[in-house]
Structure 1
Amino acid sequence: MIQSMQLGQAVPAKTIQTQPIEQKTPAELTQSFGQYLQTALDSVSAQEKNVHKMNDQYLLGKVDVTQVLIASEQAQLSLQFTSQVRNKVVEAYQEIMRMQI
């Protein structure tokens, strides 16, 4: 059972050593977000190119139709996700612009 404890008997738990948080400027944050978006767009583009290459290989009989369909669906999902992220960014920007100062 739980026993009562005097206030002076309480022993503090181990203190957590935290690392100082890097303070970034808004320009650095914008640049890193821009780099993240560019990397995501490059990835989607690479997937689209892969689908086109696999379609060509399918026509030559080198790959199975299931591989082409899987690659096509992955590229389609990536494109849909990217467009949804873009939509959310635009909505956030519009919301910020509606704020009164």
Structure 2
Amino acid sequence: MITNAMISPVNQVLPNINQIQTKATPAEATESFASFLKSALDDVAAQEQSVHKLNDQFLIGEIDENKVIIAATQAELSLRLTGQVRNKVVEAYQEIMRMQL
């Protein structure tokens, strides 16, 4: 029988269905979403700091401009994505506020 070391059996890759938590309280969901947003914003801030460090290294001649351009572009895209997510959250909030009970 031919086996491939790169392919794991399905039962090792997929978690047991009984172990998946299907229900969360609204407070738990809110806390989870808030922690996700905080970590995402921290990552964007870390990318910005990384760009500043790379820019300083470029100015003293330690690295080439390609690394600076790539890091700056990644940080710019992350910031744009963050702005779009913020806009969608505000739109969703406004839509909820317009709902009549």
Regarding TM over 0.5, the answer is yes
1:39 equivalent in structure 2: 39
TM-score calculated relative to the size of structure 1: 0.79
State the identity as a percent: 59
Give 3-state SS (helix, strand or coil) of 2:22's partner: coil
RMSD value over aligned CA atoms?
Answer: 1.4
Q: How far does residue 21 in structure 1 lie from its aligned partner after superposition? A: 4.1
C-alpha distance in 1, partners of 2:43/2:85? 14
1:87 equivalent in structure 2: 87
Which structure 2 segments of 5+ residues have no match?
1-15
C-alpha distance in 2, partners of 1:63/1:18? 49
Tell me: CA distance 1:50–1:18, structure 2 relative to 1, closer, same or farther (3 Å). closer
Q: Write out the 4+ residue segments of structure 1 that deviate beyond 2 Å after TM superposition.
A: 17-22
1:63 paired to 2:50: no
Which structure 1 segments of 5+ residues have no match?
1-16
Q: How many residues align?
A: 85
1:26 equivalent in structure 2: 26
* Bigger Rg, which one: 1
Q: How far does residue 22 in structure 1 lie from its aligned partner after superposition? A: 3.2
C-alpha distance in 2, partners of 1:71/1:23? 39
Q: How far does residue 23 in structure 1 lie from its aligned partner after superposition? A: 1.7
Q: How far does residue 45 in structure 1 lie from its aligned partner after superposition? A: 0.3
